[in-house]
Chains A and B, each alone.
Chain A
Amino acid sequence: NAGVTQTPKFQVLKTGQSMTLQCAQDMNHNSMYWYRQDPGMGLRLIYYSASEGTTDKGEVPNGYNVSRLNKREFSLRLESAAPSQTSVYFCASSNLAGEWNEQFFGPGTRLTVL
């Protein structure tokens, strides 16, 4: 099993450009999450999808949109990138089954907006 995969690993954008970060999991998990990590800020939740067909805003949703394409895939879109969106983006997934609902993380995408 690959676990949680993210593409691309690195990306450089110019201000105003758009792009989509892709995330896929092969663990049959119900829930998926997008976080961003900035220096000195820890990881902050952007959006999450508790189950296929639902999405909810997290702490820092402005400037982002998400799509839960199917149970496996959860994408994050930047419509008009801004330098403030320079960050490392992590996707994670978890399952209702099991006591812990432990989240499994992807390797991250480092995004730079110039």
Chain B
Amino acid sequence: AQTVTQSQPEMSVQEAETVTLSCTYDTSENNYYLFWYKQPPSRQMILVIRQEAYKQQNATENRFSVNFQKAAKSFSLKISDSQLGDTAMYFCAFKWAGNTPLVFGKGTRLSVIA
């Protein structure tokens, strides 16, 4: 079974600073996708960024970027210029290609401090 590990249950960062959230996963497959989801207090699951395993270039979405290390099975999320609205739970998730379910990590609670 696939597993996704987020080793940091909680983190905090000062407003405008940069923070990196860690994620590692375990799979023997070669064709898969990785995601970071944000869950604010509203409970809504919001897709932040995604990465295809066959692409070497790291994905970037505005202030959010990933460091994808395929050989190490690592997929960390970097948030630059942190804002108060970034305060949320962040979940790393894995899926195979096709209409397959997501496998989630246990989450990292991020607090952005003014």
Residues of A at the B interface (CB closer than 8 Å) are 30-31, 33, 35, 40-45, 48, 50-51, 58-59, 88, 90, 92, 94-96, 99-103, 105, 107-108
Q: Which 5 A-B pairs have the closest CB atoms?
A: A105-B45, A42-B104, A31-B99, A42-B106, A43-B104
A96 and B104 CA atoms in complex are apart in Å by 21
**If A42-B106, A43-B91, A44-B104 touch, does A107 touch B99 (CB 8 Å cutoff)?**
no
Which of chain A's residues have a CB closer than 8 A to the CB of B113? none
Give the interface of B toward A (CB within 8 A): 1, 4, 6, 9, 33, 42-45, 47, 50, 52, 91, 95, 97-107
Bound Cα distance from A96 to B50, whole angstroms: 17
In the complex, the answer to whether B43 meets A107 with C-beta atoms within 8 Å is yes
Task: Verify A107–B44 contact, CB threshold 8 A.
Answer: yes
Q: How far is the CA of A6 from the CA of B9 in the complex (A)?
A: 28
19 A-B residue pairs with Cβ-Cβ distance under 8 Å, sorted by A, are A31-B99, A33-B102, A40-B106, A40-B107, A42-B91, A42-B105, A43-B45, A43-B91, A43-B104, A45-B101, A88-B43, A92-B45, A100-B33, A101-B95, A101-B99, A102-B50, A107-B43, A108-B43, A108-B44
Per the bound structure, the CA–CA distance linking A42 and B42 in Å amounts to 16
18 more CB-based (< 8 A) A-B contacts, given A92-B45, A108-B43: A35-B102, A40-B106, A40-B107, A42-B91, A44-B104, A45-B102, A45-B103, A51-B99, A58-B101, A88-B43, A92-B102, A94-B99, A95-B99, A100-B50, A101-B95, A101-B100, A103-B102, A108-B44
Chain B CB within 10 A, most for which of A33, A35, A99, A105: A105
CA distance A96 to B100 in the complex (A): 10
Q: Nearest CB to that of A101 among chain B residues?
A: B99
Q: Are B99 and A96 in contact (CB under 8 A)?
A: yes
Partner of B102, one of A43, A51, A88, A95: A43
Residue of chain A at shortest CB distance from B46: A105
Chain B nearest CB from A73 CB (Å) reads: 17
Nearest to B99 among chain A residues (CB) is A31
The answer to whether residues A105 and B99 also contact, given A43-B104, A100-B50 and a CB cut-off of 8 A, is no
In the complex, the answer to whether A101 meets B101 with C-beta atoms within 8 Å is no
